[in-house]
Amino acid sequence: MSEATETRGFQTEAKKLLKLMINSLYSNREIFLRELISNASDAIDKLRFEALNDTGLLGSDPNFEIKIEFDKDTQTLAIVDNGIGMSREEVIDNLGTIAKSGTEEFFEHLTGDQQKDAALIGQFGVGFYSAFIVADDVEVLTCRAGLTQGTRWTSAGEDEFTVETVDDLPRGTRVVLSLKDDAAEFADGFRLRSIVRQYSDHIAVPVVMDKEGDEEGTETVNEAKALWTRSRSDVGEDEYKEFYKHVSHDFDEPLTWSHNRVEGKLEYTSLLYIPKRAPFDLWNRDVPRGLKLYVQRVFIMDDADQFLPLYLRFVRGVVDSNDLPLNVSREILQQDESTRSIKNALTKRVLDTLAKLDADDYGAFWDEFGQVLKEGVGEDFGNQEPLLKLMRFASTADPLDQQRTSLASYVERMQEGQDKIYYIIGESLSAVRQSPHLEVFKKRGIEVLLLVDRIDEWFMSFANEFDSKSFQDASRGELNLEDDEPENEADESVDEPLLERIQGALGERVASVRRSKRLTDSPACLVLNEEDMGAQMRRILEATGQEVPETKPHLEVNADHPLIRHLDTEPDEDRFNDLACVVFDQANLAEGNTITSPGEYVQRVNRILVELLH
């Protein structure tokens, strides 16, 4: 029977996942059947699609089904499908490795806490490997549609697996589980039927089992109708949740969903899900993403990314069109006008669904997906207004370090005559809350938004205004608050010699030295021009090795601060230069920046301290 047999070792990541999964998912192990049925359904969908161009692939077996077979005496369970099957190479690739990017990052997120790890493993998608939760040994017999030779794969789920070529296999895949002693319940017909109805009722392929008792023949034990084609009133909440797990391979329930049928110029049905938690590879913009695409209930492709913008890559679900051709390709989708129309409509539907969430649910969503949603403000100008309404920020008006302040609530709290939305960008909330730039705002009771996400400087470069109020970075440009008291020209003229003297001490390190309207407690702060690149963006570009344009900050000084007043009376030029440089370096540190010459800074501070001690 065997023509070529070989034994291989599992990919390192696969071995890790097997051990973690068996331990972390033990309390919910009936999900293995859902995963294997889901895989079988996908295999049938793929054959349906390939058969559109090659009907010969169906041969004499055109009626699709998934069959569950069990034997109490031998304590075995088999899940059989007549789908696309696998070639020998596909068996090795699919069952010996984890064919998904970002595995290293995935394992870095594991904590050792079984409950938390189970949730993360669910996000990763265990699929076939879930069989080892209940089985000591697993055998896979498979033959790809159109091939004459099949493949047998066996493993005990430890270090190795064996692959051999076999003849005379029918098209499709048979997964045979030799159940563990404590998993004998999964060789019982009543138990298997209840699991199928609980987890796989939505599968659009008949799941059949032998009839109970003395009756001969088989019976379908699931609904066997595509869930999204049913009326919303006919679909229960639990059914929606289980279908989400089928399309997303997430073990957790979705946060919310939207199920709609559109008729008219375009006819399509969509079922869109918002997950509760972000996948570990959310920030990898190159991983496969998108919706499952069906045309007239015929599966066309996974990860159809043409129907939602990139910043909504976390959305899962199905779109089923009556207008697209059955032989549609990704290239055709990119050029098709109806695709663009559906994309625009689905994008608005997702944003509308998010806007309808209550405060607690939306807060949880924002913590997981807020940063990626910010990408849309710069990438989707047509939806910028509804996106800005969805933005949430930390704020000086909220002592809690949570991003819960909306722009609408900020505008409601604005002072009379205030026409700007003030914000400040920094590396952390603790750092920006202590920023000297906020001092005058605190004194006057003006709220400032606190932005600390890595994307914030890029994001704010596209956010021009909200509700006819322009955005203003509190740390840039010359600050002119609406209720500024008239400046005393005599005071400014008195300060001018001191400012020139500090400018001379600092030289090319600053663009200018000027009296500050921002400061009430600190001696000095650094201010950028409106068009200058901020510190956050500079750090990101420098970390990626990109060239960063040179910019010089303005040094603003608080003329009423004791240190600045002392500078004004300091006769020793060397000591004056030391003090001026220390003031500049401390202003740099307050911004979260690094000092160009930390050694010189330490020497200056030491010299000043020694003089004070004498």
DSSP state of 283: T
**Spatial distance between the Cα atoms of 322 and 19, rounded to a whole number of angstroms:** 45
Q: Which of 203, 150, 188 is nearest to 69 (CA)?
A: 188
Q: Check if the beta carbon of residue 324 is closer than 8 Å to that of residue 271.
A: no
The structural domains of the chain, with segments of one domain joined by +, span: 5-223, 232-389, 488-614
Measured from the Cβ of residue 531, the count of other Cβ atoms closer than 10 Å reads 8
Hunting for tokens 């019982």 — which residue is that?
188
Q: Check if the beta carbon of residue 244 is closer than 8 Å to that of residue 250.
A: yes
According to the model, what pLDDT value does residue 507 have? 93
Angle between helices 573-590 and 562-569 (to 10 degrees): 160
Strands (E), 455-534: 465-466, 469-473, 512-515, 524-527
CATH architecture of 232-389: 2-Layer Sandwich (3.30)
Topology (CATH) of 488-614: Four Helix Bundle (Hemerythrin (Met), subunit A) (1.20.120)
**Spatial distance between the Cα atoms of 170 and 23, rounded to a whole number of angstroms:** 35
Reading phi first (left if > 0) and then psi (alpha if -120 to 50, else beta), residue 134 is in alpha
According to the model, what pLDDT value does residue 411 have? 97
Query: In the predicted model, what is the mean pLDDT of residues 374-399?
Result: 96
According to the model, what pLDDT value does residue 229 have? 92
Convert the pLDDT of each residue in 409-421 to its tens digit: 999 999 998 999 9
Cα 178 to chain centroid distance, Å, stands at: 38
Phi, psi of 370 (to 5 degrees): -55, -40
Convert the pLDDT of each residue in 192-210 to its tens digit: 999 998 888 888 899 999 9
Q: What stretch of H or E contains 131? A: none
Convert the pLDDT of each residue in 267-289 to its tens digit: 999 999 999 999 888 888 888 78
Q: What is the mean pLDDT of the chain?
A: 87
Lowest-pLDDT choice from 149-163, 378-392, 525-539, 570-584:
525-539
CA distances 512 to 498, 557, 589, Å, are 12, 11, 19
Alpha helix (H) residue ranges in 82-202: 88-96, 103-108, 114-124, 189-199
**Spatial distance between the Cα atoms of 436 and 583, rounded to a whole number of angstroms:** 13
Q: Which residues pair with 7 in a beta bridge?
A: 162
Hunting for tokens 């032989």 — which residue is that?
327
For residue 395, give both structure tokens: 């704020």
**Spatial distance between the Cα atoms of 27 and 33, rounded to a whole number of angstroms:** 14
Confidence band for 223, pLDDT divided at 50, 70 and 90: confident
**Spatial distance between the Cα atoms of 591 and 99, rounded to a whole number of angstroms:** 44
Confidence band for 99, pLDDT divided at 50, 70 and 90: very low
Confidence band for 114, pLDDT divided at 50, 70 and 90: low
Cα 461 to chain centroid distance, Å, stands at: 22
Q: What stretch of H or E contains 323? A: none
As a whole number of angstroms, the longest Cα–Cα distance in the chain is 109
For residue 39, give both structure tokens: 């895989």
Q: Which residues pair with 491 in a beta bridge?
A: none
For residue 497, give both structure tokens: 């010699």
Residues making up the chain, counted from first to last? 614
Topology (CATH) of 5-223: Heat Shock Protein 90 (3.30.565)
For residue 373, give both structure tokens: 């949603």
5-223 and 488-614: identical CATH topology:
no
Confidence band for 425, pLDDT divided at 50, 70 and 90: very high
